[in-house]
Structure 1
Amino acid sequence: MSEARTYTTPGPTTGTPPPPPPTPPAASAAGFALTPADRTRLRGWARGSGARALRAQIVLDASAGTGVIDSARRLGVSRPTVTTWRRRYAAEGLAGLEHRPRSGRPSRVDEAALVARSLLPAPDGEAPLSVRALAARTGVSHTTLAAVRRRWGLGAGPGTAGLTVPADPPCPLRDLDLLAVRASHGHALFLLGEPPEGRPRPSRRATALVRDATAYVYGALDALDTAEGPEPPPESAPPAYDDLLEAVRSRHPGRTLHALTLGPAPAPEGTRPHTLAPATRALSLLRVLLLAELARDPVALAAALTGPPAADVGAEGPLHWVRPPAPPTAQSAPRPAPRAFNQLALGSYNEKLVIESIREAGTLSRVEIAASTGLTPQAVSRITRNLLTSGLIVQDEGRSAGAGKPRIPLRLRPDAGYAVGIHLDPWMITAVAVDLCGQVVARRRMPLEAPRDPDWCLAQMAALAREAAAEVPDGGPVLGYGAALPGPLDRRAGVLLDPPLFEGWDRVDVGAKLSARLGSPVVVEKDATAAAIGERWLGAAERAEDFVYLYLGAGAGSGAFLNGDVHRGATGNAGELGELCAPRPRAAGDDDVPRSAEECAPISTTLARVRAAGLPVPRGEDAYPWVCARAAEGDPAVREVVDGVARVLARGAAGLVGLFDTELLIVGGPAVLPGVRARYLDVITAAVNTFPLAHHVRTVRVAPSHLGEEAAAVGAASSVFHATFTPSLKAGRRARN
């Protein structure tokens, strides 16, 4: 036998020899022989989404013996794609499946914008766009769009379930909430939070709330379009995000945070970092994040977008927002707080401006909307598309305006929403259900007699409101409830403050008690203010100007629209009329306290004086209609009483006209029934155009109310529409482009 020989290679005699190169996976006739560690890792990747999940599936198919053709067909890719990734894994193992930067010019496609466009639903009556049709509309090839959708996980699950931001590492968006964003020139940070422990899944909301919230978020997305422009050069120094992280943690304690970063600035410590591709556009990604969350819980997202701005956080860039803490419950779609709006709230204002313009005119084409609001045609097109999708407006048949394509008029859809109004009067409870165009579709009435126990009355008010809501045609969506109450009251708290003829009602929290009984928020207004809101909402173009509403019922009061918005005063009690109607200045009682004229209770005063004249006035709710009928027949005794009451109230009306310098005075309420309406209008018209010092330079038009004796109840319902749809930025009627 020959002696064994040992061979050595030259080299250093000290140190650790280099490790052997990695052995590629062994191939067999059945496919790849995967190691247990690789198989576990690949299965984990395959359960995710995006490109790496696809590559893992290709390798797992190979290990299972699936042929190239069958694997390509099953995964929906080409055969060269399957072959490429099998070879890469065979040569390099798991490292071969990672993404490699491509050579050549970087792509200029805004992938996030394409994804956001893919997430938008098709308008009503239109089928969802195919990939080819969507590609044609966005100006890219269908293969490019399909590749983008695969990278972002669209189609990997139902809806947005598989949506994943292709960052490093990828960031699946399922169940993640957008908590904060700060984007400046060349830098951006998006902080997303995992759901807190024990948070219930989003409940099935009322259709109206979902629709309103969705429309609000679409308005916010439209507002982002106005924020876009050419990007300046990147900042010289990357920003610090510690203050933003601190603000988020203080508002959302205990949340696990993911940080999507764009630019060289690192993610804040304590977050899970995801580095975005340099070509990512911050505004486009923001749209994707909003649309992904919109698909899960639109009401909660709309509430977050209308929360107070994070003014306590450091210097803001062009885009800056911190999500407010979630309220314990979210019962209704929120409204922006006055004087606290930002780019996201701006879209809602413009959307409401379009609704207001259509409502006032009855029907308007898109061209006419742009002319009346000052919005650009592109903005009008986006907003009307959203409103058509949400079902708030509908299109009528086109009308010709000469040569060219006929203009298509738009109008409010009456059954898009309903509201229920409740009026508490000393002698009657009235509840009405009103559609979006002001038509009363259901009404309930209940006479009252003293004593009026608060708890019993509130139970009856809630019962009548529920009955009216139950009569809404086809079970349409009820957007909310409104309550018109006699003054004085604390509107902000919904509390009555010792109103006349309501013994035992001082400090009764009507708003909260009704809300608890109805299971819904209740908008509380003084009865005269509610009537003014109803007149403005339902009076169309005729009531588009400023006006004062003289409300005559069990008492007398007024509501006013000034500079395009309702005027409530500091506490909600603006427009008290009693002292203005006093027969002489500072009429006072024995205690030197100014007294209201007794005519400020026109119904009871009229009945008492007619009875004192010896007429057989019936008792109960038919008494005042009987008196009005006698006045219409020309009974001299009754007409003298009515004229006497009207003359005193006319002095108060003259004071209102002088105070507000208005040229339109609306007169309405339960006291102004048809039999006495003409007498009231004639007497008041003469007074307001004679007594005020400025009567030489203006003529006041006195007009009857459109609402009739149910003015306060209809106004209470209209206050829900007013709060939901009326533009509320008190800076004029022109749009904020």
Structure 2
Amino acid sequence: MSSLVGDRRVDAVVAGRARMVLWRDEGRSAEEVAVLAGVSRPTVNTWVRRYHDHGVPGLADRPRPGKPTEVPGSVRARILALTRMTPPEVTGLTHWSSREMAAYLASHENIRVSHNFIADLWRAHGLQPYRHGTFKFSRDPAFVDKVVDIVGLYLNPPDGAVVLCVDERTQVQALDRTQPLLPIDFDRIEKRTHDYVRHGTTNLFAALDAATGQVVARCFPKRRGSEFLAFMKTVAAAYPDRELHVVVDNLSTHTADEVKAWLVRHPRIVFHFTPTGSSWSNMVEIWFRIITRQAIRRGTFTSVVRLTRAINDYVTAWNTDAKPFVWTATPGEILAKVRWVHTEVRKLLTNNDK
């Protein structure tokens, strides 16, 4: 039973039901398990009873009566095509979840399918858009030139120059996480979303040295062109008299007028813009994922000051033993993959239109 909880191949819903059974077997009451799982007490009792009656198979959904709803092939093709593309800018998403895609389809394309159907379709086609390794389409007309430029910097940097990967994480939250104490006062518990308290946010700017893995980072209360310029001045001061090639994306803060004017006055600093919707081409994104996982996501911060201090401490520790990330894919390999994916999607759309 415990193997179901930690196995990524197991449906998340089934894993949640298995977790309820395990908690009950540990001696927790149905009321306590209901609070931990965010469900009602009858729901807990139902899945515990089904497990005792039918074992692990009892945790799966039973077949529903009636003829299953037919989803047209064109809708399936549209879902698969969207899955392989970067979410539209209107969503504000970096990657799809089944629920977010279902909501987008309903509100923007008048397609109504359940998130469970989308998840099943992804499993049937081996797609995992929530995994960072999933490739995304870019609509940038200069995609090829930008990939060749940036990957060329990683694989063959100019002699004597420093290649820096720069980006920011906005609205990093200072959260004070709370846990109900036992015995639990169930009358005071409303929703699981109330298990933490927000104490404000900060904006984390970071520059990763592609050759050494060293990181320069600063936190700002706002994210505007002025804050980005202040950060870039800090970065430039850390590399005096060196030619700097800076990989950035096309955010408005990176192309503000004051930033452009500053670059004109400092010709030793050159910006290289990533293709639209291709954050994977900026290696600082790897570092952002690491600090989020290791220092931020599960942390408890009662103020923005404490959050900022934790980030600064992490950066200091990182730089004491920094190692570079190694980029191995050539521009030719990346572009060949893009052409292959485009071809497969066109085949899929053509077959489903017949």
- The question of a shared fold, defined as TM-score above 0.5 by the shorter chain, is answered with no
Larger radius of gyration: 1
Could you say which structure has the greater relative contact order, defined with CA pairs below 8 angstroms and 6 or more residues apart? Answer: 2
TM-score (norm 2): 0.31
Higher helix fraction (1 or 2): 2
